Structure 1
Amino acid sequence: MNLLNNKIEHLYSNLFFLFFTAQILSPYISGKTIYLEVIIAIFNPYFWKWIYDKNNIHKIDKNYILVILGLILIAILGHISTAVKILVIFLCVIHLFYLYDKNLWKLNRYLIISILLGIMQFIFTFIDPIMAALIGPTSISTFIWGDSATPTYTNFFTVFYFPRVSGLSREAGFFASYIIVAIFLSYIERKKYPKKIYLMYFLGYIISFSKMSLAILGVFFINSLKKFINYIPIGFGVILFIGSVSIIVGLNKDFILNDPTFLHRFSGYISLYNLDMQDVLFGIDFEKVGDYSSKSIMAENLQGFAGFAGWIIENGIIVICIFFIILYLLNINMTGIYILLLFTINVSPDSNQNFVVLTYFIILKYYCKNNISWYKFLK
């Protein structure tokens, strides 16, 4: 019976990491992607048994209750989607802790499969671009789900001298983000992986290379200064981040407003200062911002500002403060928060994309105050 349970538990693990890595395999229903890895986690009885065994359910830390109350408050303020997405992130993160603790970690396996597909896509972009598109994310997702396929973007075009590809990710930028977060995790773990894994990560980094790939340099720099950065109070540190990026964006305003990629990621910092106080406090729909930046982004058929500033505009300062109070209650230090903001520079911090979830796993495991795990029953 134990052998059978072990095999079933490994099956759950394989399914989770398959759908976690290949989010193009998840359907899109009623305007939302239904992430199948979340469904796998919810219906994994071994996961819930692990939680029960690890935690004395009669002694729940008050901070965790405050975290739930914070999410409820975010929902009450009208940002139900934000509260739900954050809740889903933490569910997946706890599941990742379970898989790590039980030696069921199979992320490398499925990321390498994604990189191998990416290598095939890369080769075909030179010899047969049509075939490259046929094994790209849009074709794969549409083949499986038809009209219910999750949104994808087969953007196999040249950014830096050669085409970049997407593997099993939705698009090349997300593939690059997943790879650099996985590379950083392998660095933080200090484990000796087989050389072939590092080789595959390197190849994946090359064939997915995009502007987002450069973020790993900033993350390594931030990590090298963690002894100093962790003395910065969270509130001041976040304001410092917003101010610093805003100054950089302001000095390069003309360039950013004329480049769709940078416009999407950074023009939120321009629009942020064009809002009235009520919109800053409570958030505003992207379509209602109405300035040059938002109109330009809508002209590119994009649905909103990316990055942290866009998240502030959408949710408002009050929700953002609640979010950072939650991170404070979970003992995440300032270095961890900066790593989160850098790795999510092309999406929102509440995105359920695999690289965002993996980033939360990293900061909750390795960037808590005094190196104490955020979830006490994991010790």
Structure 2
Amino acid sequence: MKKAIPNLFFLFLTAPILSPFVGGVTIYLSSVIILFDIPFILWAVNKFDKNKIIIVVGMSVLMALACFNVALFLKIQMLLLSVTYMFYCYEAGFFYLYQWCFINVLIALLQFTLIFIDPTLAYQIGPTNIASVLLGKFAGPTFTNFYAISLLPRVSGLSREGGFFASLLGTTFFVLINDPKIKSGKKKFYITFLIIGIIISLSKTTLILLIVPFILLFRRYLNMLQEYGVAIVYTIILIIFFNHLLLTSDFFTDVANNSMVHRFSGYALTPYASLIDFVRGISIYDLMERSRKGMEAMTLEFRDSGIKEFCGLPALYLGYGVQVFALFLIFTRYLNLKGIGIALIIILTTNVSPLTCDGFVVISWFFAFYISNNINKSANSTSLLPNVNIQ
């Protein structure tokens, strides 16, 4: 029974389509199932200092109050709870992330094979149909996009869509290659399947994962910049680059690029936001509408699709307001994430807001905590548990 809840946690973490969508909000079962694990609760009670927990909760409350958004408080708590549970599972020997990702890749390989044999059957075992059959009207938004962006069609496994699946496997890949507990033979086995899974789910936006090795290479300099410096410098560079792209090309006005535009338009449109927008927050299509001529078609596309939230750091300073962004940086500083940690979170959560509970986001935070706090430890160390500032 001790292994049941950890297995369910990693199942729901790697298969977000199994989580219900109620009232426009995804109820992540990976976060809910943790509350039934009594050994974990006892472990956490003894592990963490109660005063530090109160401070963490208090800072989360401040972030929610700063934008009058109760849901943000719940997101932060569920995110931190899930990350903490991952460390507990690792320490207790219940770390089943690789096994469930392997199962996901097997399902993705079946989808990929059936695309060439029987496309109709491939769609039947795609995320949209699986979610609809299991959850009915409570099925969350999915996108069975079995189309090719290169020579091969891409599949989604048990993720919402191909890009999220590739992000899940990519973040797991970086955790795996830095995991000293896994023996060489087993590590090579899992790495092989993760790479296969990434290839058959390749997304344009997940190509940004190629930056991660360079981030790790320059971790010393990133730590010198610290959390504030890394986040601010990164934001300024991307604002300049993507705003220049907006002004000199049709990249942000071509509806065919809507996926990439969703990910990076926050940076491109930042100069068009008013002071009120920076304080109160604004939706992506409202800012598009007031920005400049030529974006009417893209604005309509986003409105029709119900896409209103920015991705990446703009989700914080434009979506919630700069006051939330400032509190977020203070929060990460208190959690001892360091410059390398915040850099990893920024890159690995490019597709979404860094404060969501989607599986690959939770894994990204887990990896960021590990790298921030264990980077100088021996490769033979048997514990990934970081010396975070809430102990």
TM-score by length of 2: 0.88
Q: How does 1:58-69 map to 2 (within 5 A)?
A: 60-61=51-52, 64-69=53-58
Deviation of residue 300 (structure 1)? 4.8
Q: 1:225 to 1:29 in 2, by over 3 A?
A: same
1:72 is matched with 61
1:374 aligns with 2:388: yes
3-state SS in 2 of match to 1:189:
coil
Q: How far apart, in 2, do the equivalents of 1:96 and 1:202 lie? A: 23
Q: Which of 4, 15, 36 lines up with 1:22 in the alignment? A: 15
Q: How does 1:247-262 map to 2 (within 5 A)?
A: 247-253=240-246, 254-258=250-254, 259-262=257-260
CA contact (8 A) 1:260 1:300 kept: no
Q: 1:368 to 1:257 in 2, by over 3 A?
A: farther
1:4 is matched with none
Q: Which of 17, 25, 34 lines up with 2:27 in the alignment? A: 34
3-state SS in 2 of match to 1:91:
helix
2:270 is matched with 272
Q: How does 1:124-163 map to 2 (within 5 A)?
A: 124-163=114-153
| Amino acid corresponding to residue 252 of structure 2 in structure 1 | I
**Deviates further, 172-181 or 271-280:** 271-280
CA contact (8 A) 1:21 1:114 kept: yes
Q: Which of 79, 91, 100 lines up with 2:81 in the alignment? A: 91
Q: Which of 183, 187, 197 lines up with 1:192 in the alignment? A: 183
2:355 is matched with 350
Q: How far apart, in 2, do the equivalents of 1:96 and 1:369 lie? A: 16
CA contact (8 A) 1:85 1:351 kept: yes
Q: 1:256 to 1:368 in 2, by over 3 A?
A: farther
3-state SS in 1 of match to 2:224:
coil
CA contact (8 A) 2:111 2:155 kept: yes
Q: How far apart, in 2, do the equivalents of 1:285 and 1:255 lie? A: 20
Query: Which structure exhibits the higher relative contact order, with contacts defined as CA atoms closer than 8 Å and separated by 6 or more residues?
Result: 2
| Amino acid corresponding to residue 282 of structure 1 in structure 2 | R
| Amino acid corresponding to residue 22 of structure 1 in structure 2 | A
CA deviations over 1:219-271 (Å, ceiling 9, x no partner) = 11111100111101332322211111122212322223322122111111122
Deviation of residue 207 (structure 1)? 0.8
CA contact (8 A) 1:176 1:212 kept: no
Deviation of residue 281 (structure 1)? 2.4
CA contact (8 A) 2:283 2:310 kept: no
Deviation of residue 366 (structure 1)? 2.2
5+ residue gaps, structure 1, are: 1-7
Q: How far apart, in 2, do the equivalents of 1:321 and 1:144 lie? A: 41
Identical amino acids, percent of aligned pairs: 32
1:313 aligns with 2:318: yes
CA contact (8 A) 1:365 1:374 kept: no
CA contact (8 A) 2:49 2:390 kept: no
Q: 1:232 to 1:79 in 2, by over 3 A?
A: same
Q: 1:35 to 1:300 in 2, by over 3 A?
A: closer
1:119 is matched with 109
CA contact (8 A) 2:21 2:139 kept: yes
Q: How far apart, in 2, do the equivalents of 1:72 and 1:54 lie? A: 23
TM-score by length of 1: 0.91
Deviation of residue 367 (structure 1)? 0.9
**Deviates further, 80-89 or 233-242:** 233-242
Q: Following TM superposition, where does structure 1 have runs of at least 4 consecutive aligned residues deviating by more than 4 angstroms? A: 293-296, 369-372
CA contact (8 A) 2:283 2:308 kept: no
CA deviations over 1:290-342 (Å, ceiling 9, x no partner) = 33364453255433332222332110100011011010001111111111011
Q: Which of 244, 261, 282 lines up with 2:280 in the alignment? A: 282
Q: How far apart, in 2, do the equivalents of 1:153 and 1:73 lie? A: 35
1:102 aligns with 2:92: yes
CA deviations over 1:154-175 (Å, ceiling 9, x no partner) = 1111111211100111111110
CA deviations over 1:22-70 (Å, ceiling 9, x no partner) = 111111112211111112101111110111233465xx34xx4332222
| Amino acid corresponding to residue 37 of structure 2 in structure 1 | N
Q: 1:328 to 1:375 in 2, by over 3 A?
A: closer
| Amino acid corresponding to residue 387 of structure 2 in structure 1 | S
1:212 aligns with 2:205: yes
